[in-house]
């Protein structure tokens, strides 16, 4: 964590307002021979012609960060995976940062009450989707993580990519694993069982303030209707109309 903070401070103090981007290349490409360099220079003109024909080519090409930005991105990803790969032999996930964050997600911000089971399952599903995406990069990285203390090999270094991914899946992503993802699976299954018992709730409910309605989790819909009604009434309220025209 101190290493990440030092990188952030270093980038903040940097006077350069931009960062370099290097394209994804094989490690052997940096050791290209002089003859290959000459061939590239000879074909440079043809390359520019192709770029003019397809101006979106540069924008769609994937590139890697370099320098402190690359170190920071890889360090942040490593920190994220340390949270996702946390394991407790006794199965106590209360000390997991992911599970602690999930508990905070279950509290409504305004009323400070717990979300219902129906409203909590979408957040759990979204968090699990993010976890699967991170584990996919963790199991089969697109490129080699070379700035870490222990380098992570790219997916090309594995003799069998399906076996590598299956090993990670069985260790961290299965139901019953003593991992944060296994705990999320149990929480989502428990919430679904409550939803089946209580049936689907209605979309229209009172807001925590007790003075307005909420459609699902979206209060902006009611606000938009109120603005449209006020616009059609030209700013005249019913109370003002009765006071000036009692008859």
Same domain, 131 and 96: yes
Query: What's the predicted TM-score (pTM) here?
Result: 0.61
Please count the structural domains in the chain.
Answer: 2
Q: Are residue 237 and residue 211 in the same domain, yes or no?
A: yes
Cβ-count burial 151-161 (b if 16+ within 10 Å, e if not): ebebeeeeeee
* Whether residues 217 and 115 fall in one domain: no
Measured between alpha carbons, how far is 119 from 201 in angstroms, rounded to an integer? 10
Mean pLDDT of 79-97: 87
Residue 222 has pLDDT above 80, yes or no: no
Which residues, 6+ apart, have CB-to-CB distance to 179 below 8 Å? 84, 85, 86, 87, 93, 171, 172, 173
Do both 152 and 236 map to the same domain?
Answer: no
Q: Is the dihedral of CA 11, 12, 16, 18 positive or negative?
A: positive
- In terms of domains, do 114 and 229 share one? no
31 assigned to some structural domain = no
For residues 74 and 158, state if they share a domain.
yes
Q: Mean pLDDT throughout 93-109?
A: 87
Assess whether pLDDT exceeds 50 at residue 122: yes
Quick one: 235 and 118 in the same domain? no
Residue 60 resides in a domain: no
Look up the domain containing 75 and give its range.
66-201
Percent of residues, the chain, with pLDDT higher than 70: 60
């Amino acid at each position: 964590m101190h290493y990440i903070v030092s990188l952030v401070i270093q980038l903040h103090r940097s006077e350069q307002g931009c960062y370099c981007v290097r394209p994804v290349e094989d490690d052997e490409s940096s050791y290209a021979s002089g003859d290959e360099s000459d061939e590239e220079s000879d074909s440079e003109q043809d390359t520019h012609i192709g770029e003019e024909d397809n101006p979106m080519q540069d924008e769609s090409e994937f590139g890697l960060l370099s320098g402190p930005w690359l170190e920071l991105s890889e360090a942040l990803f490593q920190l994220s995976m340390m949270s996702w790969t946390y394991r407790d032999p006794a199965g106590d996930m209360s000390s997991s940062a992911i599970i602690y964050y999930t508990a905070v997600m279950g509290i409504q911000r305004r009323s400070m009450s717990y979300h219902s089971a129906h409203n909590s399952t979408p957040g759990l599903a979204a968090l699990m989707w993010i976890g699967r995406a991170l584990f996919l990069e963790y199991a089969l990285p697109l490129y080699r993580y070379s700035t870490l203390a222990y380098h992570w090999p790219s997916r090309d270094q594995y003799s069998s990519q399906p076996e590598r991914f299956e090993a990670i899946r069985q260790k961290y992503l299965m139901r019953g694993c003593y991992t944060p993802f296994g705990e999320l699976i149990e929480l989502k299954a428990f919430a679904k069982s409550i939803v089946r018992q209580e049936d689907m709730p209605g979309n229209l409910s009172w807001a925590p303030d007790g003075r307005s309605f909420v459609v699902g989790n979206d209060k902006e819909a009611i606000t938009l209707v109120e603005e449209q009604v006020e616009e059609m009434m030209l700013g005249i309220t019913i109370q003002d109309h009765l006071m000036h025209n009692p008859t």
